[in-house]
């Protein structure tokens, strides 16, 4: 099977690992990973909700930690604070109200990068070029499977709707000297805030990294905060032969990073 993967972030490399697992022979896989930048920079409190076989659970079997969610106020007020009055879906305090395990996404991503960096093909990820790639009209040849993890609107050719919300987020980046010490949060804890004060709506502290997030209409007090798009849903059905995974590739709220591995594994096994 010859496979093209768009994007080299955690979802992209987990997709590559799933293809190798499905084939059962790492030397028999032909995988091209197309990316703008190479390895992605991970900022702030991120983690895996489930381990990635052959990586997380086998290399660090005792590395999992328990994550606790705390809610200030009510879940409905939290939803309105973040998504506005029109969104009626569930939110983190409802979906993750019980303590659950977490695995270190940075550690896993580093291990994946060691195995799959050699498959990376630098390319300008412009929409026209990506559409040509999925049509199989590049000099790299046709592919049996194309997996997309880059933002789905960049591949859409029909003007479909992409519902999303926009927030402000500041992520701790020790390598850049960016700290969030003024925000107090216990280790391995996510605090969801449905109250008017303080103005932030979520504060996380996972594996020594913090993230603080504010609703879009509230100007954050930190100059390091960035505007972040959070996908909700889409009616896009362009390129039905492409497997869209990852939260931005799928463009779906509630889609977690490890879901990319599981979805690609199931699909590739069926194709093998």
- pLDDT reported for residue 136: 63
CA–CA gap between residue 53 and residue 164 (Å, rounded): 32
User: Residues 6 or more apart from 39 whose CB is under 8 A from it?
Assistant: 8, 109, 113, 117
Buried (b) or exposed (e) across 214-243, using 16+ Cβ within 10 A? bbeeeebebeebeeeebbbebebebbeebb
Q: Which residue shows structure tokens 């919300």?
A: 165
Mean pLDDT over each residue of the chain, to the nearest integer: 87
Q: At the fourth CATH level, which superfamily is domain 1-42+105-156+235-272?
A: FAD/NAD(P)-binding domain (3.50.50.60)
**Residue 100 phi, psi dihedral angles, 5° rounding:** -145, 170
pLDDT on residue 99: 74
CATH 3.50.50.60 occupies which residues in the chain?
1-42+105-156+235-272
Q: In the chain, where does DSSP find H-type helix?
A: 10-23, 56-59, 75-83, 92-95, 105-116, 127-134, 247-250, 257-271
Which residues, 6 or more positions from 237, have their beta carbon under 8 angstroms from its beta carbon? 160
Instruction: Give the pLDDT confidence of 190-235 residue by residue, as tens digits.
Output: 999 999 888 999 999 999 899 999 999 888 888 889 999 999 999 9
CB of 199 within 8 A of CB of 218?
A: yes
b/e 42-73 (16+ beta carbons within 10 angstroms → b):
bbbbbbbebbbeebbbeeeeebbeebebebbe
68: left (phi over 0), alpha (psi -120 to 50) or beta: beta
Q: How far apart, in whole angstroms, are the C-alpha atoms of residue 2 and residue 136?
A: 12
Count CA atoms closer than 13 A to 216's CA, side-chain side: 11
User: What letter would DSSP give residue 178?
Assistant: B
pLDDT of 143 reads 84
Q: What is the pLDDT of residues 79-137, one digit of tens each?
A: 888 888 777 777 777 776 667 889 999 999 999 999 999 999 988 777 777 777 777 65
pLDDT at position 173 is: 83
Q: What is the DSSP letter of 94?
A: H
Tens digit of each residue's pLDDT (9 = 90 or more) over 146-205: 999 999 998 888 889 999 999 999 998 887 778 898 899 999 999 999 998 889 999 999
């Amino acid at each position: 099977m010859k496979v093209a993967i768009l994007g080299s972030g955690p979802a992209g490399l987990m997709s590559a690992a799933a293809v190798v697992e499905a084939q059962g022979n790492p030397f028999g896989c032909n995988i091209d990973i197309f990316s703008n930048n190479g390895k992605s920079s991970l900022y702030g409190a991120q983690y895996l909700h489930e381990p990635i076989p052959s990586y997380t659970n086998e290399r660090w079997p005792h590395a999992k930690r328990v994550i606790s969610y705390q809610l200030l106020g009510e879940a409905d007020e939290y939803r309105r604070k973040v998504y506005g009055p029109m969104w009626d879906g569930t939110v983190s305090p409802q979906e993750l109200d019980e303590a659950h395990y977490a695995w270190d996404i940075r550690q896993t991503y580093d291990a994946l990068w060691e195995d799959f960096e050699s498959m990376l093909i630098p390319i300008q990820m412009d929409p026209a070029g990506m559409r040509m790639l999925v049509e199989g009209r590049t000099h790299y040849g046709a592919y049996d499977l194309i997996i997309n993890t880059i933002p789905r609107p960049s591949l859409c050719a029909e003007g479909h709707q992409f519902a999303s919300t926009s927030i402000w987020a500041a992520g701790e980046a020790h390598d850049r000297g960016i700290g969030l010490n003024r925000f107090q949060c216990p280790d391995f804890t996510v605090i969801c805030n449905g109250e008017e004060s303080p103005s932030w709506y979520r504060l996380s502290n996972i594996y020594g990294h913090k993230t603080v997030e504010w609703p879009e209409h509230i100007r954050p007090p930190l100059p390091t905060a960035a505007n972040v798009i959070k996908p909700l849903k889409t009616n896009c059905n362009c390129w039905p032969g492409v497997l869209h995974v990852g939260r931005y590739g799928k463009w779906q709220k509630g889609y977690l990073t490890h879901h990319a591995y599981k979805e690609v594994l199931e699909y590739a096994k069926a194709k093998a």
